[in-house]
A and B are shown apart, each in its own frame.
Chain A
Amino acid sequence: MTRLSRRFAVSLCFCAVLLASSRLKTTANADDIAERAKKLHFSSIVLDTHDDTTQRFFEKGGFNLADRHTDGHIDIPRMREGGMNAIFFSIWIDGKIMGPQAVEKALDQIDAVHENVKKNSKDMVFCRTAEEVREAHKQGKIAALMGVEGGHMIGNDIHVLRVFGDLGVRYMTLSHFYNTEWSDSSTDKPAHNGLTDFGKDVVREMNRQGIMVDISHVSDKTFYDALEISKAPLIASHSSCRALCNHPRDMSDDMIKALAAKGGVIQINYERSFIDQAYKDASDKLSGGVVAALEKITKECAGDETCVSQKQKELQAQMEASGALPRVSWERIIDHIDHAVKLVGADHVGLGSDFDGATMPDGMEDCSKLPKITEALMRKGYKDDDIRKILGGNLLRVMEQNEKVSRELQAQ
């Protein structure tokens, strides 16, 4: 199909949607909404900014993205089923590993993402820009992107940060669970009062490279420091609302407002203990607090990510077996989206599931369930355009702005 005829076909479709929606206004019922939501969802760019699927590429016996799995949350068949067509694969290693060792482990994961995307080139294409994501969508392919989850992986070396950019990394979370040598984490004792001078240099260099600055995981002070320094809007790649669930990993209303005021976006995390207060309280009681529990696991596993993932799963299974954890419904995700939208408007909220890295609420067992989000927002009376923004449009806007700032800074 030529570009012109494709555009014509797209506009035809669009007209059909418009026609359908105007008719629905008069005769709206549950089934109509379901149908409309489906159409909207499957014609949108549905972009998830945080998936820990990368760790699965290192599983013994291998992990084939192309196969449908009964475990985990992400694979190509389920992404297709859930209309998820853009994914940030997270590059993550334990935050206690630092220096050159962290650098090489990160390189291995970056390589694994590239190799797996190449292996699935019928379905996936690696993307570095918002434009490339849109192009992938037009071609019916899943856009694969990369984010580095934790500033410790640059080994305190600005060259390595640039190399990550060259290798296609599009965001970096400034810290993970523990402080880095230049930024405080939200789940560690503050050591730097936010960002150090080098940390500020890191943020400036990320702006220059067009790598989005991700403030999920960082302490509140680090967030405000990054907000002040950054010339480009920030993202919270996988954080929810502290007003609804008081977890240090979530953002306070003030933070969300400040983020939005500078054009940023909060990508709602689906992890049960970040979205449901009762669950978090019960979980803390059982585990002795998430910080202490994770610290213990980190110590036991001594730098082996597979071990950490396994032990976390075991701990989770133990807690579930105790029967003391309340059920959490997927609708809490909608509550968090809605809270953030009410606070700062529909331009500053998106999706950052934490699939394959978190425990999912009932009804959002994997990415095949994503159309439910579109339908729920529609039922809440959200406009189609706003829903598209939340599904992916907002993040692409922020990406474009980061690209623009990068071009400007490099031209200087």
Chain B
Amino acid sequence: MLRTILTAGLCLSACVFLAAAMIADDISASAKKLHFSAIVVDTHDDTTQRFLDGKFDIAVRNSTGGIDIPRMREGGLGALFFSIWIPSKITGTDAVNRALTQINAVREQVHTHPKDLVLATTADEVRAARKRGKIAALIGVEGGHMINSDLGVLRNFASLDARYMTLTHSGNCEWADASTDKPVHNGLTDFGKEVVREMNRLGMMVDISHVSDKTFYDVLEVSKAPLIASHSSCRALCNTPRNMTDRMMKALAAKGGVIQINYHVGFLSQEFRNAEKAHPEWEKAIAVEVQKTCGENEACQLLEGDRITRQYVAEGKLPRVGWTAIIDHIDHAVKVAGIDHVGLGSDFDGANMPYGMEDASMLPKITEALLRKGYSEDDVKKILGENTLRLMANVERIGRELNSSPRK
């Protein structure tokens, strides 16, 4: 039944292609009502990098990037995970120290804006924040290299309220293979399995975005709690190792997990990816230009990369990807994994956003588009945040159960 409705919806959106352009300015009253009454959760935002350069003010409306309080308010974003990220080439104790610096930067930002932001560590706290009219700020660590193979550090991250950890970033870590590196561990090492078990015990979500397919399957087998892909899209629609195959999504869903769709154009659009792959020299040129402008300033690198990429699009070198590609990925994932297993993981401030989804203020468009596709209000709410909150609550419960059993 659901399938028929969804197929009809897909057909409808294809037929009224022009309607998509309208949606930008035309959010129906019912969509608005639904969107602003739902808890909208975004599981991946790289805004943390902007805190570090000292010039960014999250309380005012910025003309760059995707996230600040005014635009989150405007877009009805109720909860976001600030990503703790350092490049995977930085390892050892340096990585630990820099991760702490970022965790502290997030916490300080939240403390500095108590009227709008509140730190949340559980699904219940996210709901409580919502009731008080505040945006829930959560912390996710993007890359297992930041624990320096030290479970003590992992536990400290949990104490400091990190609620998920992505097992790798783009490079392999010492105990897990990444999707964008040469495999060296055949997935997860024995220590990597220990990390997953300890995360289960700590009630910390295990994030399989960025990891290799083999690592994913290893984790799925070891983890006692459902997994999250905090910011990955569908490989069936855009063939990049950072996205999940249909088989992976089904396996993730079968164990109660959730895939949070990433809005990065290179993960959404096969056409964009093909164009990029056909001209590796462009990627290099962009990197050189970014380096020239930004040096080692990572916040600057992320934003500048997006700006220059858009120049290439304007020059007609790279294809223009519209925001409705996000809806295509959501819809595909729903069809493959089920309505209970899809959510939002934008990658704002860390990726190249499609046209029409430049920042968090545009989020109501997603609700409008899903309603137009024939999704029920409850289904839309699940995608906007309820699935993620259910996953969080389950991971917390399993953590409590594991903690109450006697330690080895």
Residues of A with Cβ closer than 8 Å to B?
99-101, 103-104, 107-108, 110-112, 114-115, 119, 155, 157, 159-160, 162-163, 166-167, 410
Contacts and interface: CB of A to CB of B under 8 A. Distances in A.
Contact of A104 (B93, B107, B108, B111): B93
A115 B103 CA distance: 21
B153 A107 contact: yes
14 contacts: A100-B93, A100-B94, A103-B93, A107-B100, A107-B152, A108-B153, A115-B155, A155-B97, A159-B100, A159-B104, A160-B97, A163-B100, A163-B104, A163-B160
B152 A99 contact: no
Interface string B144-157: 00001010110110
Interface string B79-109: 0000000000000111011001101110110
B101 A107 contact: no
B104 A104 contact: no
A167 B156 contact: yes
A159 B92 CA distance: 18
A162 B160 CA distance: 11
A159 B105 contact: yes
Given A103-B100, A163-B160, 20 more contacts: A100-B93, A100-B94, A100-B97, A103-B96, A104-B96, A107-B96, A107-B152, A107-B153, A107-B156, A108-B153, A110-B152, A111-B155, A115-B155, A157-B101, A159-B100, A159-B104, A160-B100, A163-B103, A166-B104, A166-B159
Contacts of A157: 97, 100-101
Contacts of B104: 159-160, 162-163, 166
A110 B152 CA distance: 8
A119 B105 CA distance: 31
Contact of A167 (B96, B108, B159, B407): B159
Contacts of B108: 162
Given A108-B152, A162-B108, A166-B107, A101 B93 contact: yes
Contacts of A107: 96, 100, 150, 152-153, 156
A115 to B, nearest CB: 7
A107 B99 CA distance: 12
Given A107-B152, A115-B155, A100 B96 contact: yes
Given A114-B159, A155-B97, A163-B160, A104 B153 contact: yes
Contacts of B97: 99-100, 103-104, 155, 157, 160
Interface of B: 92-94, 96-97, 100-101, 103-105, 107-108, 111, 148, 150, 152-153, 155-156, 159-160, 407
Contacts of A166: 104, 107, 159-160
Contacts of B148: 104
A161 to B, nearest CB: 9
B84 to A, nearest CB: 12
A333 to B, nearest CB: 35
Nearest to A155: B97
Contacts of A155: 97
A114 B156 CA distance: 9
Nearest to A101: B93
Contacts of A159: 100-101, 104-105
B156 A110 contact: yes
A112 B153 CA distance: 10
A166 B160 CA distance: 7
Contacts of A110: 152, 156
A114 B94 contact: no
Contacts of A108: 150, 152-153
A28 B162 CA distance: 60
A325 B161 CA distance: 51
A172 to B, nearest CB: 15
A123 B96 CA distance: 32
Contacts of B92: 100
B101 A160 contact: yes
Nearest to A168: B159
